[in-house]
Amino acid sequence: MKQRQGGFTLVELMVAMAIGTVIILGAGQLFLTTFQTFQTVDKVSRKQETLIFAISTLTAAGRKGDIGDYAIVSDERSSDGGTRHYCVLQDEVQNQPIVDLSQVDDATACPTLSIPNGDDVSHLVTLPIGDCRESVDATCDQITFTISERNKAISP
């Protein structure tokens, strides 16, 4: 009587390898999705940090009646890849940049920071945030809010 060897057949091994491959591919896809989600959340967090800092600075100045001390100016930066244009919130009194708001196509694309409302108390402020170039499929958000000067609002 012949002794039969124990173990797996070739078909069983191939099925096990196929199942293992599917599990590994699923884990890899999960890793990539998680990494992409992290990158997206990081971009949104950076936008939020920029926006909070800019709004805090502008709100404090606007309430004191110093909103005219700030402006959105165009900043041109050159590198090996070409010239890039940014809209920058700038302190006009100290001639210092405060924060980069958005990337734009050309120097004329930066909006006016604030527009006085007809009530002589408040200003309508618009901040562009993100990548606002037309050639790129990216998100460009505009945040608009109103700031009232405290002294004018409470005095008769």
* Boundaries of every domain in the chain: 11-154
Secondary element (H or E) of residue 43? helix 10-64
Look at the alpha carbons of 52, 153, 125, 92 in this order and tell me if their dihedral is positive or negative: negative
What local confidence, expressed as pLDDT, does residue 117 receive?
Answer: 82
For the chain, what percent of residues have pLDDT higher than 90? 21
Give the SS3 label for residue 57. Answer: helix
DSSP E strand stretches across the chain: 70-79, 82-91, 96-104, 114-116, 122-131, 140-148
What local confidence, expressed as pLDDT, does residue 152 receive?
Answer: 74
Residue 124 banded pLDDT, cuts 50, 70, 90: confident
pLDDT tens digits for 77-117?
887 778 888 888 888 888 888 888 888 877 667 788 888 88
Rounded Cα distance, 69 and 28, in Å: 52
Give the SS3 label for residue 85. Answer: strand
Which residues in 76-109 are b (16+ Cβ under 10 Å) and which e? Answer: eeeeeeeeebbbbbbeeeeeeebeebbbbeeeeb
